[in-house]
Chain A
Amino acid sequence: DSGVTQTPKHLITATGQRVTLRCSPRSGDLSVYWYQQSLDQGLQFLIQYYNGEERAKGNILERFSAQQFPDLHSELNLSSLELGDSALYFCASSGDLRHGYTFGSGTRLTVV
C-alpha cells in the first residue's frame, strides 16, 4: 500500500457521460498530481494541485477539470466522454523532499 488511495478501481461508462475520479493523498502530502496512461502515450501529466490551488497544467482537455478540497483529497472530473478517453488514470502525491512522488494504483476507465 503506497498510501495514495484512488477510487473507484474500475469504471465503465458510455460516451457522452460524466465521471468523477477520487484521490486521497499520502498523509501529510500537500501536492496532488493527475496522470493519464494510455497504451500509445505513456504517462501524460494532466494537472497539479498544491494545498488547494492549481499549480501546474499539462495536457489536460477542456472537458476535464480537477479540484483539491480542504482535506487535501482531489477529484478529477471527466465530461462528454469519448472512446479515446479510455485509459488508466493515476493520482500521485508529494510532500517533503525525502519521499518524492508516490503513485496510487489507478482508476481504469472504459468508455463504451
Chain B
Amino acid sequence: GENVEQHPSTLSVQEGDSAVIKCTYSDSASNYFPWYKQELGKGPQLIIDIRSNVGEKKDQRIAVTLNKTAKHFSLHITETQPEDSAVYFCAASIGYGGSQGNLIFGKGTKLSVKP
C-alpha cells in the first residue's frame, strides 16, 4: 500500500523567513496530495491541496509543488508568522474523496516560528 514519508520532523524558523516541508510517496497511482495544519487540541485543517495534473499551486503565502516523476511534493510557506506555528501533515490518496480512496499521512512536521 501507499507509504508517505515527511521531513523534517521539526522545523524552527525566524518570523519572516520561509519554511519548506518535503514529502515522498510510494504509490504512483496516488493523484491527490493535500496538506493539513493541526493546532493543539484541534482536528487537522486543510490548507492547500494539489492534484496530479498540476505541478504547482499557490494560495497567498502558501504554495505546493509536485514532482510526479520523483514522487515527491513540498509545502512552501513564505513570510512566516507566529500564527503559522503548528504541526503540518502531508497526505496522499488515490482519488479525491467521495467513494474513492483514503488519505495516507506523513508523520508530521512541528513548525515553530520565533518572533
Contact = CB atoms under 8 A, between A and B. Distances in A.
B60 interface: no
B107 A50 contact: no
Interface stretch (A14-22, A70-78, A79-87, A94-102): A94-102
B89 interface: yes
A33 to B, nearest CB: 6
A99 B45 CA distance: 12
Contact of B99 (A41, A50, A90, A105): A50
B107 A101 contact: no
B91 to A, nearest CB: 8
Contacts, number: 71
A101 B46 contact: yes
Contacts of B89: 42-43
Contacts of B96: 94, 97, 100
A64 interface: no
B73 interface: no
Nearest to B87: A42
Interface in B33-56: 34, 36, 42-46, 49
Of all A-B residue pairs in the complex, the 4 with the closest CB atoms, nearest first, are A94-B97, A103-B43, A42-B107, A43-B105
Interface of B: 32, 34, 36, 42-46, 49, 89, 91, 96-99, 101-108
